[in-house]
Amino acid sequence: MRMRGILFFLGCVTAESATIGFAQTAVENKTPSISGVVRDAGDNPIADAQLSLSRPGEPARLFRTGVDGKYSFAGIAPGEVQISVRRLGYRGSSKSVEVTPGSGETSLDFQLAEIPSDVADVIVEASKGHLQEFYEHKANSAFAKFFERKDIEKRNPTYLSELLRTVAGASLYASERTGNRIMLRDCKPMVWIDGMRAPGAELDEVARPMDVAGMEVYPSAAGLPPQYQDRNNRMCGAIMVWTRNQ
């Protein structure tokens, strides 16, 4: 009888341990993710909004919304991340999120305010559209190397980084992930996509030749507009990419 009681006790302990272990596994299997919808002031979904998920020391992850305005970033490591969103004709927005282990899916929506029509008209400016800033830089800078859409089509590179072989001070190294790593005068440049920072990202990770309308390459901080200078390394140059479908 005593032996039967001991066996019953051990069985209960084993069952309880299994239950706890199952619960822990279920929590661990909840891979953190962040998703949501980008809407305008009237709660209408915004298509072609570009979102960036970034954290210091890691390449930025990009996402462009469809007609439903939805976005999603999966497989996010624990820690604080920043998600930024921008769209032509709207004011940009950024939010920080603290991701915890086993947090599962976090819902994070954005509501963008439309830029007044008189300001938007200046931004769009005829056929130049969102490339106005690109052409203004091209007309006034003697320090940067500029590539227009026609230059990209003429050279037809497999990777966008291949265009930099003609840039003085640029060095290309095979990347373990995709394309090439770029150094400008022995310094890693900051990459910008449509005016949005992509911290830690390599050019070939965030842009493809077929998607680019214009690109600016600044080998050093000389001539680089103040708003595009890297505060952590003011001596480094930058690569600014302007997409075709903004």
The CATH code of the domain at 33-111 is 2.60.40.1120
> How does strand 79-86 pair with strand 93-99?
antiparallel
| Threshold 0.75, pTM exceeds | no
Q: Could you read off the pLDDT tens digit of each residue along the chain, which spans 246 residues?
A: 555 554 444 454 444 444 444 444 444 457 899 999 999 999 999 998 888 888 877 777 889 899 999 999 999 999 999 898 888 777 778 888 999 988 889 999 999 988 665 444 444 444 456 788 898 888 888 889 999 999 999 999 999 999 999 999 999 999 888 889 999 999 999 999 988 888 888 999 888 898 899 999 999 888 888 888 877 777 789 999 999 865
What is the CATH topology of the domain spanning 125-243?
Ferric Hydroxamate Uptake Protein; Chain A, domain 1 (2.170.130)
CB atoms within 10 A of CB 36: 21
* Amino acid code (one letter) for 90: Y
CB atoms within 10 A of CB 107: 9
Q: For residue 127, which phi and psi values (nearest 5 degrees)?
A: -80, -15
Which part of the chain has CATH 2.60.40.1120?
A: 33-111
CB contact at 8 A, 65 and 73: no
Which part of the chain has CATH 2.170.130.10?
A: 125-243
Report how far residue 178's alpha carbon sits from residue 175's, in angstroms, rounded to the nearest whole number: 6
Distances (CA, A) of 132 to 45, 142, 213: 26, 18, 12
Residue with tokens 């400008």: 184
Write the CB contacts of 144 (distance below 8 Å, at least 6 apart in sequence): 137, 138, 216, 217, 218, 223, 224
